[in-house]
């Protein structure tokens, strides 16, 4: 490329997150999409997204590119979702909890002990209910293209938690949603809404006593170093979502959308395959770092948290989603 052309290409890229240059002789138009997320590049969701980028590149014969910015370089999900809305970014990753403020459907994943088993969870996620949910935010300026399993979330702290009573008075970081805040309060603890990237320092400095997450995030964020007790209460199963701006999505051609949709589907399968090994490896690493995994009586936690179900049943929209999920097979 000549310098002039390079400058033109660069300014095109800067001018719009989605820069298209069309060549009539080619079946697919050139496009570069930018995707930012807050996970480490060793995280399986990042690996799945990187595979997706490769597949899009190959399937489009190099005409379509997905440029990924990991590790919260562009901020947390709140910021990146906002960037999607104002046209500054094309795609991001957000957990269901982070999607909850935009569509009540996603709140269902913050309801503790909802899924009967893993099959029930994946049948919801990858079945009709999940598909329907992924369109729910269309009027907010984005939709989900893929969903990724993220195991179960448990509490971890700088002191041992064996029963719900041990949670009393603890300051616990959560992805703040009405459901998660109530969940923490029902346990007699105090919810602290701190961005993912700031939890390590908050734990280290004693601003909070604990947090809750799956094993890979507990380890990759190094929270394990400053909160040694991981209580396996497994209160929720909160998936991650690949989210795209509807403006960007609707501007793509059918062929471009097909390429992305197919690669997104494959990325879901790939991530699901990696997940179990990642959890096992994270547990091993946590133990090597001095973590203690504590078996707890989940029933005791479930009992304390049942009032959340009444909240859902009393809210017509959320009650509807609850019914739909309960009707999905667990086989």
The distance of closest approach from Cβ of residue 95 to ligand GCU in the complex, given in angstroms and rounded to an integer, is 4
Q: Is 52 helix (H, G, I), strand (E, B) or coil?
A: helix
- Which residue among 32, 60, 92, 95 contacts ligand GCU (CB under 6 A)? 95
Within 264-323, the residues that bind ligand GCU by CB under 6 A are: none
The distance of closest approach from Cβ of residue 240 to ligand GCU in the complex, given in angstroms and rounded to an integer, is 5
Within 234-253, the residues that bind ligand GCU by CB under 6 A are: 240
Cβ neighbours of residue 144 closer than 8 Å, sequence gap 6 or more: 99, 133, 134, 135, 137, 241, 242, 243, 244
- Exposure string of 192-225, with b = 16+ CB inside 10 Å and e = fewer, is bebbbeebbebbeeeebbbbbbbbbbbbbbebbe
The distance of closest approach from Cβ of residue 60 to ligand GCU in the complex, given in angstroms and rounded to an integer, is 28
Q: What are phi and psi of 217, to 5 degrees?
A: -75, -35
Q: Is 330 helix (H, G, I), strand (E, B) or coil?
A: coil
Answer yes or no whether residue 217 interacts with ligand GCU by CB under 6 A: yes
The distance of closest approach from Cβ of residue 230 to ligand GCU in the complex, given in angstroms and rounded to an integer, is 14
User: How far is Cα 189 from Cα 157, in angstroms, rounded to an integer?
Assistant: 12
Answer yes or no whether residue 196 interacts with ligand GCU by CB under 6 A: yes
- Structure tokens given for 311: 């909240």
Query: By C-beta, is 28 or 105 nearer to ligand GCU?
Result: 105
Q: Is 219 helix (H, G, I), strand (E, B) or coil?
A: helix
Answer yes or no whether residue 256 interacts with ligand GCU by CB under 6 A: no
- Which residue among 80, 122, 137, 213 contacts ligand GCU (CB under 6 A)? 213
Answer yes or no whether residue 90 interacts with ligand GCU by CB under 6 A: no
Answer yes or no whether residue 38 interacts with ligand GCU by CB under 6 A: yes
CB of 155 closer than 8 Å to CB of 293: no
**CB-side exposure of 153: number of CA atoms within 13 Å?**
25
Answer yes or no whether residue 218 interacts with ligand GCU by CB under 6 A: no
Query: By C-beta, is 60 or 177 nearer to ligand GCU?
Result: 177
The site for ligand GCU, by CB under 6 A, has a size of: 8
User: How far is Cα 198 from Cα 19, in angstroms, rounded to an integer?
Assistant: 33
User: How far is Cα 92 from Cα 38, in angstroms, rounded to an integer?
Assistant: 9
Indicate the helix (H) or strand (E) that contains 243.
strand 240-245
Question: Looking up tokens 């990991």, which residue turns up?
Answer: 70
Per-residue contact flags (x/-) with ligand GCU for residues 158 to 177, judged by CB under 6 A = -----------------x--
- Which residue among 129, 143, 150, 219 contacts ligand GCU (CB under 6 A)? 150
Query: By C-beta, is 32 or 110 nearer to ligand GCU?
Result: 110
| Residues at the interface with ligand GCU (CB under 6 A) | 38, 95, 150, 175, 196, 213, 217, 240
């Amino acid at each position: 490329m000549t310098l002039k052309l390079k400058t033109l290409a660069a300014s095109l890229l800067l001018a719009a997150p989605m820069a298209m240059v069309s060549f009539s002789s080619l079946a697919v138009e050139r496009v570069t999409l930018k995707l930012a997320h807050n996970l480490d590049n060793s995280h399986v969701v990042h690996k799945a997204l990187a595979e997706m980028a490769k597949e899009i590149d190959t399937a489009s014969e190099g005409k379509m590119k997905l440029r990924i910015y990991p590790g919260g370089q562009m901020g947390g999900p709140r910021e990146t979702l906002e960037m999607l809305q104002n046209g500054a970014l094309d795609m991001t990753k957000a957990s269901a909890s982070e999607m909850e403020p935009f569509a009540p459907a996603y709140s269902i994943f913050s309801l503790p002990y909802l899924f009967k088993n893993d099959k029930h969870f994946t049948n919801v996620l990858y079945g009709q209910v999940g598909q329907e949910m992924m369109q729910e935010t269309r009027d907010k300026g984005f939709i989900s293209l893929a969903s990724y399993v993220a195991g179960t979330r448990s509490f971890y702290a700088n002191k041992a938690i064996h029963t719900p009573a041990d949670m009393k008075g603890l300051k616990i970081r959560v992805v703040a949603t009405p459901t998660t805040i109530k969940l923490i309060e029902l346990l007699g603890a105090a919810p602290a809404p701190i961005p993912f990237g700031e939890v390590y320092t908050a734990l280290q400095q004693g601003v909070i006593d604990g947090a809750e997450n799956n094993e890979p995030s507990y380890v990759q964020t190094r929270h394990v170093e400053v909160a040694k007790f991981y209580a396996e209460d497994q209160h929720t199963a909160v998936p991650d979502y690949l989210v795209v701006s509807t403006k960007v999505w609707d501007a793509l051609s059918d062929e471009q959308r097909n390429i992305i949709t197919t690669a997104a589907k494959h990325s879901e399968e790939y991530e699901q395959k990696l997940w179990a090994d990642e959890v096992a490896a994270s547990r091993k690493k946590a133990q090597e770092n001095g973590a203690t995994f504590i078996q707890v009586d989940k029933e005791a936690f479930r009992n304390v948290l049942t009032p959340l179900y009444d909240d859902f049943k009393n809210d017509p929209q959320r009650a509807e989603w609850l019914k739909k999920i309960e009707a999905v097979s667990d086989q």
